[in-house]
Structure 1
Amino acid sequence: MKTLLLTNEYPPNTYGGAGVHVEYLSRELAKLMQVEVRCFGEQCSENGSLKVRGVPLAGKEIGAPKPLHSVFGAIQRSADMSGMGVDADLVHCHTWYTHWGGILSKLAYGVPLIITTHSLEPLRPWKREQLAGGYDFSLWVEKTALEMADAIIAVSEGAKADVLKHFQVPEDRVHVIHNGIDLQEFRKVESHEALVRYGVPVDQPYVLFVGRITRQKGIQYLIQALQYVDPDIPVVLCAGAPDTPAIAAEIREAIDMVKMHRGQIYWIQEMLDKPNLIEIY
């Protein structure tokens, strides 16, 4: 059996949870079957039963306004993902960015379409400030893909309920598979190099946030709630890759306001690599 995974994120170009999910999913599936990952970028590797092929824009010029670049880029690369030919037994899409490729693959090659929903576009109306009119396309392509998919994977019972609420999908087509963690990799380490480098106390517990600066992660609510947290407890915010300059400025202003009333807030604005993240966890 062979599975084709379509994703916008894949190492080393990973900035969010979906990319991490696909990295580990592809690795584990490759222990059971042939797996090909097609992703946005220029990655190219083959290791046993796992093959990775990046799909670049290939010099194609996008003349649309900047907020629409990611939308038209996604359309082009998703079409290219399918146009490369599909010899897999099924295609498995992650995030709306690749749903167009999944739709084309199902229609053109007759392969079953599987979609994992990491989040849903109807629940992210603030994306309009990031994508402008492109948000309407993301809504449409997600709805089209989910309602024609042969199976949908939701990462929780709540996510399944959201799918059933917002889309015309039979309940028996939606399956819950929770996200997991590699306990051999994510375990306590003795090193404190990352904590020391960022000035975080190594001898006491702290509140930790790890994620992109995006409204769906809820970092804005955490920052608002810090006024109710014991000021003697350090707060570590591993938060970078803002969706827009506007939300970046909003979060910066909110953190500056909180710092006027309490100390021990450590904001790490870069996206940390895995060894540093494991240490901070």
Structure 2
Amino acid sequence: MATVGFLALPSWDSELVSPLQGRQQQQRRGPRAETWQETLRRISGDSLPYHSRIYKISKYQLDCARRLLSVLNWLPVYIRTMEKLAPARCAFLLILALVVLPSVQGVEKVKVELYSEALCPYCADFIINYLNPFFNNGLIDIVELRIIPYGNARVLDGSLICQHGPDECELNIIQTCAIRLWPKVTDWFPFIYCLETLDRRTAAKNWKSCVHPSRLDLEPLIECSATPLGAKLEMEFAAETDRLQPPHKYVPWVLVNGEPLMDNYEDVASYVCKAYQGNKPAVCSRLEHETIKTQPAGLCVREYVSQASY
């Protein structure tokens, strides 16, 4: 089985400085933004701390933690105040605190996961006509969206074999690199959307035309996708896809809060509205009166089941 290696990157320093000079310059400049070379090193695992690789903390979870700490800050004052009050009033304030504290954590977003593959016309249709509207109708504000571009590919003797040939494998890796290099969905989704609008016959040759309109950088995408790092990241998505329970039968394969929508994947917006527990966007009111579809426009069916090793 072929071995997937790590990417060796050159230093980004333009000159050598002493540690003291480096700290002084850093203090004057303020926090330094992460360079794309550092991002590549981080996602390859070379410099990512062990605990960070295991525990992936979302922005929502971090915000909840900050709010909880703000509550804990006034808790000692609250306890001292309770000691001076009558028991009945203490009981009332305690009940009030128990009611308020959970509301501090906010409402959890709905998790939407799309297992897809490049050059599948039905995946392209779903991304263009069903996911892209999320960014215009407000649903993206209540959704945690992931796309896993591997689909019906398989791993044979350490090599990727894709349903639509080598061009699909190349485009899957390019999408994977974009998702890992720019973790914010508002950064990588326009790029993937653009890729899906290209002519499938020439998409593998013309993918670079989507970089500038999406406001991404071409150099890190090439550095990732054309080196073993891209294959390594795609293998991780391959392993995740093959762990699905129940196993996917086709793409697009859509999950909402971990539950597969099966043939109802085109009604993803309705399922999101039903799953969300907070104040819903206006589009949800309209979707309540629409009939759920029972037959999708089409599917790229999984043609084989393989025993893969990564």
Q: TM-score range by the shorter chain?
A: under 0.3
TM-score if structure 1 supplies the norm length?
Answer: 0.25
Higher relative contact order (CA 8 A, sep 6+): 2
Structure with the largest fraction of strand: 1
